[in-house]
Amino acid sequence: MKRSNQLNNDNILFINASQNRNGNTAQTGRQLLNGTQYQQLDLVDYKIYQIGQNYPDDQFAEVVDQIQRVQYLVLGTPVYWHAISGYLKVLLERLSQMDNPDILRGKKISVFVQGADPSDTEKPTKNVVQRFANVLGMDYREL
Ligand SMILES: Cc1cc2nc3c(=O)[nH]c(=O)nc-3n(C[C@H](O)[C@H](O)[C@H](O)COP(=O)(O)O)c2cc1C
């Protein structure tokens, strides 16, 4: 990670958008964050329904609560079918459609993707998150 991206320890939330809490995505995150302290949020532990679905056990608000506490979001996703995981796709859609998207304004955001062969997915993934950052007023940083 570039020096300019380094922040106060408690300010980094690594969002692991893999089905595995300690798989290759978590491991890559650890390597990229390179000794910096961070909190890890495993999306597999939360029920986050698709936009338009309303179920009482939805846990999106819990994830938003954790996002609200930090200054820097590092998104990590495995490649699933030549794209970001469904976990990350749904999260981005839900965040962009929430009632108070202004809570994201000014926060830093980065993304990485890993997989057996992520070469065709890296650019589209960065484009999506860069665009997301632009729309939501976030500060996109390359890792
Ligand atoms: C449903 C599914 C689809 C996948 N599709 C791709 C793919 O299109 N390209 C690729 O490089 N890897 C693909 N993979 C492999 C994963 O990206 C790879 O094993 C990754 O390291 C898993 O990360 P994890 O250990 O965090 O779960 C796929 C895996 C799964 C489960």
User: Hey, what domains does the chain have and what are their CATH numbers?
Assistant: 3-140 (3.40.50.360)
Average pLDDT of the segment spanning 74-102: 98
Nearest to 75 by CA among 129, 37, 35, 34: 129
For atom 19 of ligand 1, the residue with the nearest CA is: 115
- Which residues, other chains included, contact 53 with Cβ-Cβ below 8 Å and sequence gap of 6+? none
Distance 101 CA to ligand 1 centre (A): 30
Do the Cβ atoms of 78 and 113 come closer than 8 Å? Answer: yes
Convert the pLDDT of each residue in 120-131 to its tens digit.
Answer: 999 999 999 999
Q: Is the pLDDT of residue 4 over 70?
A: no
Average pLDDT of the segment spanning 91-117: 97
Average pLDDT of the segment spanning 9-24: 92
What is the percentage of the chain residues whose pLDDT exceeds 90?
Answer: 92
What is the pLDDT at residue 40? Answer: 98
Q: Is 21 in the pocket of ligand 1 (CB under 6 A)?
A: no
What is the pLDDT at residue 35? Answer: 84
Six-digit token string for 114 = 């890993």
Mean pLDDT of the chain: 94
Q: Is 80 in the pocket of ligand 1 (CB under 6 A)?
A: yes
What is the pLDDT at residue 137? Answer: 98
Convert the pLDDT of each residue in 37-74 to its tens digit.
Answer: 999 999 999 999 999 999 999 999 999 999 999 999 99
